[in-house]
A and B are shown apart, each in its own frame.
Chain A
Amino acid sequence: DVKVTQSSRYLVKRTGEKVFLECVQDMDHENMFWYRQDPGLGLRLIYFSYDVKMKEKGDIPEGYSVSREKKERFSLILESASTNQTSMYLCASAQGGVNSPLHFGNGTRLTVT
């Protein structure tokens, strides 16, 4: 069974702090993704990566960056947290190929005060 692990279930940070959200998968998947989920807005793609040291912007990359130094780990970075980044953050991984479904971690609920 695929396991995608996010480092924190709940996180509270202050405005202006630099925030790191970590995600690790154990199935040697090529592709990794970061989404945020907000009521009424659904899941929105922030960044994704198809390979180590590779990254692509998703639909809402502003205010975020990512790092993929190792295949199994994909980090989301909030350079200077703001209150509008309060959200549920979901990491996912998938094998390469267009027919590969996503496997999600259990999410990090981030509150920025």
Chain B
Amino acid sequence: RKEVEQDPGPFNVPEGATVAFNCTYSNSASQSFFWYRQDCRKEPKLLMSVYSSGNEDGRFTAQLNRASQYISLLIRDSKLSDSATYLCVVNIGGKSTFGDGTTLTVKP
């Protein structure tokens, strides 16, 4: 079983849609959590950290459920520019493990 698992998608949604990604992790000692965005042939870039109380950044909301060992990312009012691969990242002791990513395509 992989340490960090994501639904690979692809998710194909129309502009304006709400889309949610989930990610599960296997190590209960995991300490911190992040979502990254990666555009085609580019490096991953930090989208947002994920806090236990949940956090929001504009159209993006991240949630953490430690009991069930999953994190989620909700994107509201999708834009064409949101098309990318979204990577879930789990950190233990400063070492990060990445999920394989979920691909999102937002269509006009």
State the A residues within 8 Å of B (CB): 31, 33, 35, 40-43, 45, 48, 50, 58, 90, 94, 96-107
Decide: A106 near B42, CB < 8 A? Known: A99-B31, A99-B32, A99-B49.
yes
The residue from B45, B95, B101 contacting A45, defined by CB atoms under 8 A apart: B95
- Rounded to whole Å, the gap between the CB of B32 and the closest CB of chain A is 5
Decide: A94 near B98, CB < 8 A? Known: A43-B44, A99-B32, A105-B43.
no
16 contacts between A and B (CB under 8 A): A33-B96, A42-B100, A58-B95, A94-B94, A97-B94, A98-B31, A98-B91, A98-B92, A99-B31, A101-B49, A102-B44, A102-B89, A102-B96, A105-B43, A106-B43, A107-B42
Residues of A within 8 A of B92 (CB): 98
Interface size on B, residues (CB 8 A): 22
Main secondary structure of the interface of A (DSSP, over half): loop
State the B residues within 8 Å of A (CB): 31-32, 34, 42-46, 49, 87, 89, 91-101
- Rounded to whole Å, the gap between the CB of A64 and the closest CB of chain B is 16
Residues of B within 8 A of A33 (CB): 96
In the complex, number of A-B residue pairs with CB atoms less than 8 Å apart: 52
Are B87 and A50 within 8 A (Cβ)? Answer: no
Most central of B93, B94, B100 by chain A CB within 10 Å: B94
Q: How far is the CA of A100 from the CA of B98 in the complex (A)?
A: 15
